[in-house]
């Protein structure tokens, strides 16, 4: 029970509204540590196990700290802290009053200030789901995709903020095998919304349930997502081709494992890095077919095999030879 007029009461009411709008399906609360007394107050660590929309969905955790006082022998909550950034917090439903649109395959949420784009984002997300489903290499695409459209203030706060300046969106694992897709609403034009949704929703469909720290295989993870984003367009119409050309003309010769851009990369360098991943993956598809490329992706990203081991098993070629071929293709396609 919350103390009347306390900060906790307002926060709980806001969260209740947002959770209901998001179609919360399961909600289990448990105390996760021994309560700690601090003066006249008690600090209590609490975990919410929860999931949305789908009956029988697998829950994921959010852990927070609550503060309680005793009033006439009755404990009352007076404050609750948001989940920490180390746990990809706070979640949008913790931090914001959300307005939500629910479709057949997608749920899109934002704040009242961004409400005017809600219908458009949902419409494009429903279309993008059909594409992203194809890249569910474990055979089970998400039953629904959860998408949060962030205004400038929300982008800096939801899921801890602190993303590289060039980030347009991301997919974050939230437990229970679920991902939340987050879009940066700043300067997000309708002309690129469909590509961005296909890209990020493909991450949600294709990555292992706990996510994946890309590192040396960044090119593969992002290349598959950009293959989906391209929507079947020919290589000649790939929007980052000019930036790849600039990279190649500067002497780029690989390797693919070094493609990931740094946090301080310029816009064209980021664009070129994604282009390298896309072109390399596109070349693998052209040579071996999309399904075989996805078998390689599954072996590397889900089964954690080295590219050397996966390449020999899936393609019947050494990875060094095949990587050299991909690099040559990237250079040729951009020339």
Residue 206 is assigned to a structural domain of this protein: no
Residue 166 is assigned to a structural domain of this protein: no
Choose the final residue of a domain: 42, 57, 86. 86
Per-residue pLDDT tens for 228-277? 999 999 999 999 999 999 999 999 999 999 999 988 899 999 999 999 99
* The pLDDT of residue 235: 96
Residue 183 is assigned to a structural domain of this protein: no
Residue 305 is assigned to a structural domain of this protein: yes
Choose the final residue of a domain: 86, 110, 132. 86
**HEC profile for the chain?**
CECCCCHHHHHHHHHHHHHHHCCEEEEEEEECCCCEEECCEEEEEEEEEEEECCCCCCCEEEEEEEEEEEECCEEEEEEECCCCHHHCCCCHHHHCCCEEEECCCEEEEECHHHHHHHHHHHHHHHHHHHHHHHHCCCCCCCCCEEEEEECHHHHCCHHHCCCCCCCCEEEEEEECCEEEEEEECCCCCHHHHHHHHHHHHHHHHHCCCCCCCCHHHHHHHHHHHHHHHHCCCCHHHCCCHHHHHHHHHCCCCCCHHHCCCCCCCCHHHHHHHHHHHHHHHHHHHHHHCHHHHHHHHHHHHHCCCCHHHHHHHHCCCCHHHHHHHHHHHHHHHHC
Cα–Cα dist 235/200, whole Å: 20
* pTM for the whole structure: 0.95
**Domain boundaries, position 311:** 212-335
* The pLDDT of residue 288: 98
Residue 179 is assigned to a structural domain of this protein: no
Choose the final residue of a domain: 37, 52, 86. 86
Asked if residue 90 has a cis previous peptide bond (ω within 30° of 0), the answer is yes
Q: Which stretches in the chain have pLDDT values below 50? A: none
Residue 42 is assigned to a structural domain of this protein: yes
Residue 275 is assigned to a structural domain of this protein: yes
* The pLDDT of residue 208: 95
* The pLDDT of residue 187: 86
Residue 154 is assigned to a structural domain of this protein: no
Provide the domain count of the chain.
2
Cα–Cα dist 119/101, whole Å: 7
């Amino acid at each position: 029970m919350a103390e009347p007029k306390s900060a906790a009461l307002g926060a709980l009411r806001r969260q209740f509204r947002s959770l209901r709008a998001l179609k919360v399906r399961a909600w289990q609360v448990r105390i996760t540590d021994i309560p700690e007394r601090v003066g006249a107050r008690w600090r209590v660590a609490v975990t919410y196990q929860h999931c949305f929309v789908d009956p029988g969905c697998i829950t994921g955790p959010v852990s927070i700290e609550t503060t309680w006082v005793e009033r006439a022998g009755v404990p009352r909550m007076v404050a609750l802290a948001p989940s920490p950034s180390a746990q990809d917090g706070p979640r949008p439903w913790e931090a914001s009053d959300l307005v939500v649109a629910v479709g057949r395959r997608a749920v899109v949420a934002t704040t009242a200030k961004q409400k005017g784009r809600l219908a458009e984002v949902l419409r494009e997300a429903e279309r993008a789901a059909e594409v992203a489903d194809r890249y569910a290499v474990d055979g089970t695409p998400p039953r629904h995709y959860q998408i949060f459209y962030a205004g400038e203030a929300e982008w800096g706060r939801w899921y801890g903020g602190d993303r590289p300046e060039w980030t347009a969106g991301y997919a974050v694992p939230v437990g229970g095998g679920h991902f939340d897709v987050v879009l940066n609403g700043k300067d997000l034009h309708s002309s690129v919304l469909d590509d961005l949704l296909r890209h990020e929703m493909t991450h949600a469909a294709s990555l292992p349930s706990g996510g994946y720290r890309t590192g040396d295989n960044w090119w593969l993870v992002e290349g598959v997502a950009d293959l989906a984003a391209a929507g079947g367009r020919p290589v000649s119409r790939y929007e980052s081709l000019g930036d790849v050309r600039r990279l190649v003309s500067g002497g780029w010769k690989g390797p693919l494992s070094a493609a990931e851009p740094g946090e301080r990369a310029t816009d064209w360098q980021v664009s070129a890095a994604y282009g390298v991943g896309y072109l390399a993956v596109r070349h693998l598809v052209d040579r071996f077919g999309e399904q075989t490329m996805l078998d390689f992706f599954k072996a590397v990203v889900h089964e954690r095999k080295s590219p050397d081991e996966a390449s020999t098993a899936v393609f019947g070629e050494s990875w060094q030879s095949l990587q050299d071929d991909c690099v040559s293709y990237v250079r040729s396609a951009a020339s």
